[in-house]
Amino acid sequence: MSRPILEVSGLSMRFGGLLAVNGVNLSVQEKQVVSMIGPNGAGKTTVFNCLTGFYQPTSGSIRLNGEQIEGLPGHKIARKGVVRTFQNVRLFKDMTAVENLLVAQHRHLNTNFLAGLFKTPAFRKSEREAMDYAAHWLEQVNLTEFANRPAGTLAYGQQRRLEIARCMMTRPSILMLDEPAAGLNPRETDDLKALIGVLRDQHNVTVLLIEHDMKLVMSISDHIFVINQGTPLADGTPEQIRDNPDVIKAYLGEA
């Protein structure tokens, strides 16, 4: 068993009188695919927003590799290697696909003003490497021929893949995907499943997934957490979850 990379305990998020998330605990092992499932409005995306610093959780602790990260602003958490996609794709629509990938490498580039102004060799090298890395990932997600198309004009499935590639530009340790299969056709979903497998096995990325497509979740997850009405309901391997009476009740209603 590998060590936990992300540990969440007692996470709660209150919006005025609404307790959207109540005492959620997660323990995510390194290099695994972990899914979070639950009915609509269960608070899954709210948990995501808390983990990535878009919300400040009301209480609870979030540890990344043992380090407390709750309360940090979003961009600082992203710099520690926790990067996410969004339920509704958020690409830089007017910029081309390859520009999207270059922007995401911002932190890894030579951002010295004078170096860029005079195009020093160091600056050229840094730009060259960024371009190579972007080209590599465009190939990985099958978008090489669309490199110079504005991202907003790509087909929906392509936009989803580009968003994942863009996350990979930041060299993340945890990739959080918010409903990546929503709106994809069965073939695209299979491609996505293969891609997630590649991310975990070849790029040592831990994947945290919110997804409604049960076939995908059950076939790819190493571990599943179930949330219902903001509270944790169950967790375990796909087999354990499938047979759990509480989960069946939450999804299908009282028999």
Ramachandran category for residue 13: left, alpha or beta (phi over 0 → left; psi -120 to 50 → alpha): beta
Closest CA to 33 of 161, 218, 208, 153: 208
User: Where in 190-250 does DSSP place strands (E)?
Assistant: 206-210, 223-228, 231-236
Asked whether position 92 contacts another protein by CB under 8 A, the answer is: yes
Asked whether position 93 contacts another protein by CB under 8 A, the answer is: yes
Count helices and strands (H / E) in the chain. 10, 10
Tokens of 11: 């996470």
Contact with another protein (CB under 8 A) among 11, 24, 169, 208: 169
Asked whether position 208 contacts another protein by CB under 8 A, the answer is: no
Asked whether position 175 contacts another protein by CB under 8 A, the answer is: no
Rounded to the nearest whole angstrom, what is the least distance from the CB of residue 172 to another protein in the complex?
A: 9
Q: Which stretch binds another protein (CB under 8 A): 10-18, 107-115, 193-201, 231-239?
A: 107-115
Contact with another protein (CB under 8 A) among 3, 113, 187, 254: 113
Asked whether position 205 contacts another protein by CB under 8 A, the answer is: no
Query: Residue 10: CB partners within 8 Å, gap ≥ 6?
Result: 23, 24, 25, 59, 60, 61
The mark string for 25-64 relative to another protein (x by CB under 8 A, - otherwise) is ---------------------------x-x----------
Say whether 10 sits in a helix, a strand or coil.
strand
For residues 139-158, which are near another protein according to CB under 8 A?
144, 147-148, 150
The strand pairing partners of 209, in sequence order, are: 35, 177
Rounded to the nearest whole angstrom, what is the least distance from the CB of residue 195 to another protein in the complex?
A: 19
* 8-state DSSP, 150: B
Q: Strands 206-210 and 67-68, how do they pair?
A: unpaired
Q: Give the binding site for another protein (CB under 8 A).
A: 52, 54, 73-76, 78-79, 83-84, 86, 90-96, 98-99, 102-107, 109-111, 113, 116-117, 119, 128, 131, 134-135, 138, 144, 147-148, 150, 166-167, 169-170
